[in-house]
Amino acid sequence: MAAIPFSSTCRHSNSSLHQNSSFIGFSQRNNIWQLFVITKTNSRRAMRKLCVKNVASDKKRELNGQLADQGTYNEFVPDSTSIVSSIKFHAEFTSPFSPEKFEPNKVFFATAKSVRDSLIINWNATNDYYESMNVKQAYYMSMEFLQGRALLNAIGNLQLSGPYVEALRKLGHNLEDIANQEPDAALGNGGLGRLASCFLDSLATLNYPAWGYGLRYKYGLFKQLITKDGQEEVAESWLEMGNPWEILRNDVCYPVKFYGEVISGPNGIREWIGGENVLAVAYDVPVPGYKTRTTINLRLWSTKVSPAEFDLRAFNSGDHAKAYADMKKAEKICYVLYPGDESIEGKTLRLKQQYTLCSASLQDIIARFEDRSGKRVNWDTLPDKVVIQMNDTHPTLCIPELIRILMDVKGLSWEKAWNITKRTVAYTNHTVLPEALEKWSLTLLQDLLPRHVEIIRMIDEELINEIIAEYGTDDLDLLQQKLQKLRILENIELPNSVMELLNITEETPSTDLVEEVDVDDNEIKATKETEKEKEKDDDDEKEGEEEQDDEQEGEEEQDDENSSVEEDTDNKIIGRFKVDPKLPKMVHMANLCVAGGFSVNGVAEIHSEIVKEEVFNEFYKLWPEKFQNKTNGVTPRRWIRFCNPDLSKIITKWIGTDGWVTDLEKLAILRKFADDEDLHLEWIEAKRRNKIKVASFIKEKTGYVVNPNAMFDVQVKRIHEYKRQLLNILGIVYRYKKMKELSAEEREEMFVPRVCIFGGKAFATYVQAKRIVKFISDVGETINHDPEIGDLLKVVFVPDYNVSVAEVLIPGSELSQHISTAGMEASGTSNMKFAMNGCILIGTLDGANVEIRQEVGEDNFFLFGARAHEIAGLRKERAEGKFVPDPRFEEVKAYVRSGVFGPYNYEELMGSLEGNEGYGRADYFLVGKDFPSYLECQEAVDKAYRDKKRWTRMSILNTAGSYKFSSDRTIHEYARDIWRIEPVVLG
């Protein structure tokens, strides 16, 4: 089906008004509301020619009536008077608030709706052209889109900030105050979701044909409270007052199935009969480009069931829970982002979310492809018109789902469906952490998605055959090693075809999928398997060496002089590839992404090298052409132009143009003014004003009063051990301890005043991360109330860190900490935002830090810590008991244990930094190793900060050198090297 325009009526309406006109907007004259419509006509004089330029061919085209079926219009740039009328209209007719008052939340809603009217006009024109030209389109699939507030961004992109300021002033309101009424859309957690939103902004700004697909979470992740007990989670309420930006598409919905069984239909076609059926319903959010009419779409899915599923009889009989059980089961799929997965129920819900995203989106993409293709669909051309980018492993099920649709629904052969899929889907890897490279229990997948397990087995078999074709069967030890690293299925029997190829003629025990062992997910099934093992062991005792397991076979064969060489060889092969029934059977989603996609990219140069050399090294040897790097970027519109207007004005003045907003390379011009005293004065003043805003914000959110004249030292990101907020706070504790040992005069002389700001959420079930939040809060509580220290040191944890908080903190930051263990951060994007805003970074050579340091200059980056290539050796040294901690590290741990920061027992936290090995111990993230280097680097920071001229110069050069890290550059590279799409400009 074609995409439905944003107009409020269905395109197939029989209404004469809708057949002969298209809605433009409302105006008010003499207190009478008038509906403006543009009458359709076939007259050439009545039509405005809309010129469309395809940048690839550089040929100007005219639509020549292609938009006539939708009506035509003259471009209209709203002024403050028309905006006032529009806001009044929406306040009266479309607002979800009562009519008696015109308070800020109602004003925001009406203002947003008036902006959306403009976006709808542009969206319809954009989408109509994409359809008429049948352009190749990219679809960005992500479990997260961390958009932030949309009002200021939208009117900024539309170049309507001035008129809206004036319109709201006429209505007695201030634009900034009204914008602050908007809640952040709770559709993401951290860098993954923020990157996806930056990409959509750049795609629209650069006029690339693309859509985003995600889920519409009712509550999102969670709202974070910081109490005396540390972090507490409550449900996010972003949708409580409604979302003025979204458009519900009741006519765009798709069935999504779970459970059930697979049966063979006519002609051998497999048919999946779902046992639980839900409907995915589309909500569209328009995404405008900057200074362009291109407006693309973010389509979010919500889940429900048909009203027929409501059991009215049960309800009337009093069994209310049974009556709406199916409704609640469907709705909860889209309740929470990343539901806790400690239980089998939590794992099931996460997998349901991922499959809902994949299934609904692919059905929609296929329907759009068919609609654009006309009556005769050539499926071989799908990769020429569609490219799907999987943002991390969450959308991995796109691969088997696309194959399922092509085979089971469209009737294609396995060979053709597999070939088309491999040319359509691409994968972005965002992590090197083993726990983040998703693995799912085969038991769970088999239960929830039985048809997809069949397809995954077929993909796994294809992969095995490619491995054998590459490495042969002569060296079985080598083959076994390759299969262990490359297979999608872990601890699962080889396919029969492969067994025959390896000349394994003896039958090996196979395990029924329904009763297989899964120690991670389903302990009940483990009981059955244990009983089987006991029976098998009894049989082994009776039958002797004929039915021994792997190790027993090897030992018995060495002693059995009567065994033939042929039998010996067969048994060794059986033993080598035999399944261990005591271990779980798993599906490696990342391996499936690499095998099923045509491209694999990392997100920073060092990360992409680690991906090739470590994470997917065996795949890289097999398919080197698949791997490439695409260093992340952030949109300069939101992250400089709109969030830091003071700095933006200075940049525009000194560069001589505001063209840098869409061509960030122009920032490099600032380098030649890096020593200019006039620029220094303006730069310092802009930073001071931003710091005053941060101080006011901190007072509002935490009650703490901080001195804007102190250095603002910030670490804001997801709380995780590898990001090492613990290293930061232990450094602060050491600083505080040294201060306490000095006189007031000595303190003033030795230490630069600092406000140390933390922000970020710890996952609700991540106990150690939550201990770190509690520790930071306790340290702050102690230091901030110490009269001896005063303004010389403050520690603040800002609750509920999100995009809007970042937009306040980043412009006012002076030092930003990006101190992850080297080799563990894929890229990072906040480091780019801080550098763009003239903040100097302290960090390790990890992720995009490496490239930022190259671009801004080594003298303008504070570097410390072990390098990525040293990490494995350092952990080995620790395991062997050879690590000798620095005395300062032992000193600070003892100080924490002394109880100076309150009665909470931090033994678990401090104990994780001790010992040589063991889970939760042995300082896996090398806090102790890097601690002395970190302290010395912080001393260098203090020294540099005292020299205001030097510090300001460093700040200017950070902004000037950040031009590489625009998401515009990143998107150009994706479009050129992976998606093979061209920009299309509507003129």
Q: Which residues contact 484 (CB under 8 A, 6 or more apart)?
A: none
- The H or E element that residue 651 is part of is helix 645-655
Which value, to the nearest 10 degrees, does the dihedral of the CA atoms of residues 56, 58, 63, 67 take?
A: 40
Alpha helices in 228-387 (DSSP H): 312-316, 320-323, 325-331, 344-373, 382-385
**Tokens 């459970």 — which residue?**
259
- 400 to 135, 597, 876: CA distances (angstroms): 25, 11, 40
| Alpha carbon 853 to its chain's center | 25
Phi, psi of 825 (to 5 degrees): -95, 120
CB 155 within 8 A of CB 188: no
Q: Which residues pair with 256 in a beta bridge?
A: 278
- 553 to 220, 284, 392, 494: CA distances (angstroms): 53, 61, 42, 19
- 491 to 471, 586, 616: CA distances (angstroms): 21, 7, 19
Which value, to the nearest 10 degrees, does the dihedral of the CA atoms of residues 834, 180, 295, 660 take?
A: -30
Of 216, 630, 638, 717, catalytic: 717
CB 440 within 8 A of CB 613: no
Q: Does residue 882 have an active-site annotation?
A: no
Q: Does residue 532 have an active-site annotation?
A: no
Q: Does residue 833 have an active-site annotation?
A: yes
112-131 CB burial, b ≥16 within 10 A, e <16: bbbbbbbbbbbbbbbbbbbb
CB atoms within 10 A of CB 355: 24
CB atoms within 10 A of CB 687: 25
Q: Does residue 717 have an active-site annotation?
A: yes
Report d(CA 888, CA 731) in Å as an integer.
10
CB 725 within 8 A of CB 915: no
CB 813 within 8 A of CB 834: yes
Concatenated DSSP letters of 75-105: -----HHHHHHHHHHHHHHT-SS-TT---HH
Of 612, 833, 875, 929, catalytic: 833
Residue 760 DSSP code: -
Helix (H, G, I), strand (E, B) or coil at 798: strand
| Alpha carbon 354 to its chain's center | 13
Of 106, 394, 588, 718, catalytic: 718
Report d(CA 205, CA 292) in Å as an integer.
6
Report d(CA 892, CA 896) in Å as an integer.
6
Q: What is the largest CA-CA distance in the chain?
A: 109
CB 150 within 8 A of CB 181: no
Of 72, 303, 393, 829, catalytic: 829
Dihedral of CA 369/370/373/374: which sign? Answer: negative
Of 430, 687, 735, 794, catalytic: 430
CB 259 within 8 A of CB 448: yes
Q: Helix 565-576 to helix 550-559 angle, to the nearest 10 degrees?
A: 160
Structural tokens at position 261? 């069984």
Report d(CA 744, CA 559) in Å as an integer.
81
Q: Does residue 723 have an active-site annotation?
A: yes
- 420 to 38, 209, 406, 591: CA distances (angstroms): 44, 21, 9, 18
Q: Which of 156, 38, 25 shows the shortest CA–CA distance to 82?
A: 25
Q: Does residue 430 have an active-site annotation?
A: yes
Q: Which of 158, 149, 428, 120 shows the shortest CA–CA distance to 284?
A: 120
Report d(CA 377, CA 379) in Å as an integer.
6
- 239 to 232, 244, 256: CA distances (angstroms): 20, 10, 24
Of 218, 723, 818, 964, catalytic: 723
Structural tokens at position 15? 């209404």
Catalytic residues: 430, 717-718, 723, 829, 833
